[in-house]
Each structure stands twice: as structure tokens, then as C-alpha cells.
């Protein structure tokens, strides 16, 4: 069997003779950008720990748009449980046909992916997903992932960055066209250039469906605030401001003040007036601009000092926030300094 994503001889497809052991599944997850742990097989002797968990086909590919796509047609060979840690992203999962799959999201949400359905998973931070598989389960699954840091379209990246403020799982309506395009991805005749074009078309249309569904299903984040909550939120705020260059995770911030991640997200927005990561991004960029204008920072220094590991990502975020490139801000500051010195 082949899919429009195509069989590839490089690391885009990692197979064990079309039978997948825990280690080969973990390798595929790592190649795709997230960590994965397996508990099984749970129905065989301990000496058979590396027995194959599934048989079939898996193909992954990064599209020119920056989207990641994974198509699989698998049958479970042994009972097993899997835990994955996905990075900040919008992920669309589609069960084309076969057995349903139930995911536990961050231990406080449950979503079932039944045949001919799709779900949009919005991860505001690293998202923990746990699922169980039983021997004989079989399904064809398409997964599309869009990360703000990797998509090529600036407007799309900005939209994702602004809207990935809470971790949610919401159904995505499947139009007839989207369903047909998904099925086309599994057609054996579509490989190579045609396959890649089909994959891109399908991924972009399904992403548009997910964004539309999110906008239609927007919900209020209002929640009761007590005085002790205000003090906790201020502690989180002060921590962020004191450590702009650090890598922050909602789960750590929430644990430090004795809150759940969902409570922190809700109450931080209510007290501060912005979601956690929007607040952090704005403060980072404001500090970077100040450093560029008044402290002689280079663009690379500004990016590093406020927690951006890649200057290009920093430059893009800076331009979106202030409407000018950081190089222009630094140049204007230097020119002003020269003029003042001459006077």
C-alpha cells in the first residue's frame, strides 16, 4: 500500500518490515517532533517486551507550507498504552475509518476519535496525550500539525500564536470535499509530485476547517476570582517578568502556585487582562525594544536576552508587534545617538 505522502527511502518513513515495535514507534514520534513512551505490549510475556505493537504503514512528511502530516493504516497486534508529549501547536486528527481511539489530554480532558470524524487539538504549552490500544483495533488516521514557529505563512503563524492560549480539544466538521481529499491521500496511484500537491491541498483545507470551527465555538473564560487568587497570579506575573529569558511551561507555573493549568489560564487572563503567553510575549518584545534603543543590543543579543533561541523567529514576532524590523529600531537609535553627539 502507498499513500499520497509517498513511500520514501529516507527517514521520513521509519518501518520495521511494516511491523512496528515500541522503539520504532518512538523513533517516528521523535522524527515528527514529540516524545512518546510505550507501556506495552501488555498481553505478552515480559521476555517479549520488544514485540511488535502494530502492523501496517506509517508515512510522515513536512510540507512546503511548514505543516507536518502523518498518515497511518495500522492494525494493533498487542494491547498497549502510549503517552505522547506534543509541543505548542494546532493539531488536527482524522479517523478515516476503523476503530475509535480515546485520548486523555493533560489528565483533565477526554476526547474520542470515532470513524469518519476529526478533532482539533490546541496545545497552549507542551500537551500530554495518553491513549490505549487493544489487539485487533484497526484504523486509518491522518494527523496534521501546525506550529507557530515552523509555518511559512506569516499571517497563519500570527493567528496560531494569538489563539493558542488554552489547551482544548474540539470537533471539526468534515465537509464532503475534505473527506474526499483525505481519502485521496490513501489512493495507491498518488505518489511523487501529485501526492505532495494533494497532501498540501488537503492539509490546508482541513486546517481552514479547524480554524473556522474554533472561531464558531469560542467560549467565555470568565471565572470567580478571590483575593488569594490575585496574590498567586501576581506571583506568576512577577516570575515571568524576572525571568524573561527562561523557557516557561504552564504546568510548572501552575504547580508553583498550587493551581491546575486550566485554573491558571482562566484566572491569569481575568486578573492581568491577557493570557499567560500573550503577556509573556509582549513583555519580552517590549524589553527587547528597550535594549535595542537604549542599551546598544544587537538583534541577536536582544533575541537571546528575552528568551528567543532563533533570531529569525524573534525578528518576525518583533515586526508583528511593532510594525518595524528590529534592525530598523536599532539603526534609528544609533542614528539618533550620532546626531545628539554632533550637536
Which grid coordinates are listed for 291?
535594549
257 contact partners, CB below 8 Å, separation of at least 6: 232, 233, 235, 236, 264
pLDDT reported for residue 221: 44
Residue 286: CB atoms within 10 Å: 14
More confident residue, 39 or 89: 89
Burial of 83 (0-12, 13-18, 19+ CB in 10 A): middle
Give the sheet arrangement for strand 80-86, strand by strand: 35-38, 80-86, 127-133, 101-105, 109-113
pLDDT reported for residue 256: 95
CA–CA gap between residue 93 and residue 101 (Å, rounded):
11
Residues 21, 77 contacting (CB under 8 angstroms): no
State the pLDDT confidence band at 52, using cuts at 50, 70 and 90. Answer: confident
Q: Is the pLDDT of residue 15 over 50?
A: no
Which grid coordinates are listed for 86?
506534543
pLDDT reported for residue 43: 53
For residue 232, the surrounding DSSP H or E stretch is: helix 227-242
Q: Is the pLDDT of residue 7 over 50?
A: no
Which grid coordinates are listed for 148?
507557530
Over residues 25-50, the mean pLDDT reads 68
Residues 288, 326 contacting (CB under 8 angstroms): yes
pLDDT reported for residue 338: 42
Give the pLDDT confidence of 148-163 residue by residue, as tens digits.
Answer: 888 998 888 888 887 7
Q: Is the pLDDT of residue 80 over 60?
A: yes
Q: Is the pLDDT of residue 337 over 60?
A: no
Q: Out of 32-36, 72-76, 213-217, which region has the weakest mean confidence (pLDDT)? A: 213-217
Give the pLDDT confidence of 158-191 residue by residue, as tens digits.
Answer: 888 877 877 888 777 776 777 787 887 777 666 7
- Ramachandran sector of residue 135 (left: φ over 0; alpha: ψ -120 to 50; beta: rest): beta
Taken as a whole, the chain contains a residue count of: 343
Q: Out of 103-112, 250-259, 320-329, which region has the weakest mean confidence (pLDDT)? A: 103-112
Which grid coordinates are listed for 29?
514520534
State the pLDDT confidence band at 343, using cuts at 50, 70 and 90. Answer: low
Grid cell 539618533 in the structure block, residue: 336
CA–CA gap between residue 297 and residue 319 (Å, rounded):
17
State the pLDDT confidence band at 92, using cuts at 50, 70 and 90. Answer: very high
Give the pLDDT confidence of 305-332 residue by residue, as tens digits.
Answer: 999 988 898 999 999 888 899 998 876 6
pTM over 0.85: no
CA–CA gap between residue 318 and residue 225 (Å, rounded):
33
Rg (C-alpha) for the chain, rounded Å, is 23
CA–CA gap between residue 97 and residue 139 (Å, rounded):
6
Q: How far is CA 44 from its chain centroid?
A: 34
pLDDT reported for residue 5: 57
Burial of 216 (0-12, 13-18, 19+ CB in 10 A): exposed
Residues 54, 92 contacting (CB under 8 angstroms): no
Q: How far apart are the first and last CA of the chain?
A: 75
Q: What are phi and psi of 306, to 5 degrees?
A: -110, 20
State the pLDDT confidence band at 274, using cuts at 50, 70 and 90. Answer: confident
Q: Out of 39-43, 133-137, 296-300, 339-343, which region has the weakest mean confidence (pLDDT)? A: 339-343
Amino acid at each position: 500500500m502507498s499513500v499520497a505522502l509517498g513511500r520514501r527511502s529516507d527517514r521520513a518513513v521509519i518501518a520495521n518490515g511494516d511491523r512496528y515495535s515500541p522503539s520504532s514507534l518512538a523513533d517516528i514520534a521523535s522524527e515528527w517532533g514529540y516524545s512518546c513512551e510505550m507501556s506495552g505490549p501488555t498481553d505478552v510475556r515480559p521476555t517479549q517486551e520488544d514485540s511488535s505493537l502494530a502492523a501496517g504503514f506509517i508515512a510522515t512528511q513536512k510540507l512546503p507550507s511548514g505543516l507536518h502530516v502523518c498518515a497511518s493504516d495500522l492494525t494493533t497486534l498487542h494491547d498497549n498504552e502510549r503517552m505522547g508529549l506534543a509541543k505548542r501547536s494546532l493539531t488536527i486528527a482524522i479517523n478515516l475509518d476503523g476503530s475509535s481511539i480515546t485520548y486523555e489530554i493533560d489528565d483533565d480532558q477526554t476526547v474520542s476519535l470515532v470513524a469518519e470524524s476529526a478533532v482539533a487539538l490546541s496545545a497552549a504549552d507542551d500537551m500530554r496525550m495518553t491513549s490505549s490500544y487493544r489487539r485487533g483495533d484497526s484504523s486509518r488516521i491522518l494527523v496534521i500539525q501546525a506550529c507557530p514557529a515552523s509555518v511559512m505563512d506569516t499571517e497563519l503563524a500570527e493567528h496560531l500564536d494569538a489563539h493558542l492560549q488554552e489547551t482544548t480539544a474540539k470537533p471539526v466538521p468534515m465537509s464532503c470535499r475534505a473527506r474526499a481529499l483525505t481519502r485521496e491521500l490513501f489512493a495507491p496511484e498518488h505518489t511523487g509530485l501529485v501526492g505532495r500537491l494533494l497532501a498540501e491541498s488537503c492539509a490546508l483545507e482541513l486546517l481552514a476547517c479547524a480554524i473556522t470551527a474554533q472561531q464558531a465555538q469560542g467560549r467565555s473564560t470568565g471565572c470567580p476570582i478571590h483575593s488569594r487568587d490575585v496574590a498567586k497570579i501576581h506571583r506568576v506575573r512577577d516570575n515571568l517578568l524576572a525571568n524573561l529569558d527562561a523557557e516557561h511551561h504552564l504546568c510548572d507555573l501552575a504547580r508553583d502556585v498550587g493551581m491546575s493549568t486550566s485554573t491558571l489560564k482562566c484566572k491569569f487572563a481575568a486578573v492581568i487582562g491577557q493570557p499567560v503567553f500573550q503577556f509573556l510575549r509582549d513583555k519580552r518584545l517590549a524589553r527587547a525594544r528597550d535594549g535595542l534603543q537604549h542599551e546598544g543590543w544587537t538583534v541577536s543579543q536582544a533575541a537571546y536576552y528575552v528568551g528567543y533561541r532563533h533570531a529569525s523567529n524573534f525578528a518576525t514576532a518583533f515586526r508583528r508587534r511593532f510594525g518595524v524590523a528590529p534592525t530598523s529600531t536599532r539603526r534609528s537609535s544609533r542614528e539618533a545617538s550620532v546626531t545628539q553627539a554632533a550637536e
